[in-house]
Amino acid sequence: MVTGSTRGLGYAIAEAMVAQGAQVVVSSENAEDTAAAAARLGATGIVCDVSDDGAIAALVAQVVERFGGIDILVSNAGIQGGGSADPLDMSGFDRVIAVNLRSMVVLTKHALPVMAGREGASVILIASIAGLRGNARIEGYALAKAAVVQLARNLAVQWGPKGVRSNAIAPGLIETSFADGLIGNAEFMARRLQMTPLRRVGQPHEIAGAAVFLAAPAGGFVNGQVIVVDGGTVITDGG
């Protein structure tokens, strides 16, 4: 099951999972987009607004009813944070936290009990390098993503004894519609590429590959970790 999977990273992850033979459930809050993505992928589409606790519970229940359980959960749904330089600007803060963090907590609370004991059970939370370093403008988003990394660690400790692995992926700048505003900003891109040793932005399939690894037997002893996929941005001195 992949949330936020009608476009961007979520779609790429769902596509990669399908290619590896998984039965995939794609989901978003938009019924038309969900149906179209499911049709393209040959997957099952279930509509879910992750800001609604009841909708999350219903999503998990429907997946269990149709497939008998959940082996792989990719919690990807998220929204962009604000970019204000004003530290007192809290507009949108609560919604960013609700969608990017709280929804993942609620989703895992419902899904993990039905994943426990299933062979190869794997939870993959999509974080961001924004949660690994200081940020001046995307406070709510960065705070949420930092907490997502900690959520992966907590779940690993709580559910590892029941056979469920939990990990996070922290993408850097990836070429998706989510990042169009940044990629189209020449001044920002000059700084970012100077900070990135590979001197390019990432591609969705490079995040999807990390997700497949974490879902597969090859990642069977990886638990409670954050895998950074950013071309080296967070480790460089910018030189």
| 62-71, 79-88, 149-158, 179-188: least confident range | 79-88
Per-residue pLDDT tens over the stretch 95-129: 999 999 999 999 999 999 999 999 999 999 999 99
Output 229 or 92, whichever has higher pLDDT: 229
pLDDT at 139: 86
Q: At what angle do helices 53-67 and 103-115 cross, to 10 degrees?
A: 30
Is 141 part of the annotated catalytic residue set?
A: yes
Radius of gyration for the alpha carbons in the chain, expressed in angstroms and rounded: 17
Does residue 158 surpass a pLDDT of 70?
yes
Per-residue pLDDT tens over the stretch 170-220: 999 999 887 788 888 898 889 899 999 999 999 999 999 999 999 999 999
pLDDT at 101: 98
pLDDT tier for residue 82 given thresholds of 50, 70 and 90: low
pLDDT at 83: 66
Does residue 46 surpass a pLDDT of 70?
yes
Exposure string over 85-94, b if 16+ CB within 10 A, otherwise e: eeeeeeeebe
Q: At what angle do helices 8-19 and 204-215 cross, to 10 degrees?
A: 50
Does residue 238 surpass a pLDDT of 70?
no
pLDDT at 187: 87
Nearest in space to 173 (alpha carbons), one of 53, 9, 13? 9
pLDDT at 125: 98
The single residue of 141, 202, 206, 226 carrying the catalytic annotation is 141
170-173-177 Cα angle (round to 5): 110
State pTM to two decimals: 0.95
Residue carrying the six token digits 């992966």:
152
Does residue 81 surpass a pLDDT of 80?
no
Arithmetic mean of pLDDT over the chain: 94
Does residue 145 surpass a pLDDT of 80?
yes
Does residue 3 surpass a pLDDT of 80?
yes
d(CA 105, CA 98): 10
Does residue 26 surpass a pLDDT of 70?
yes
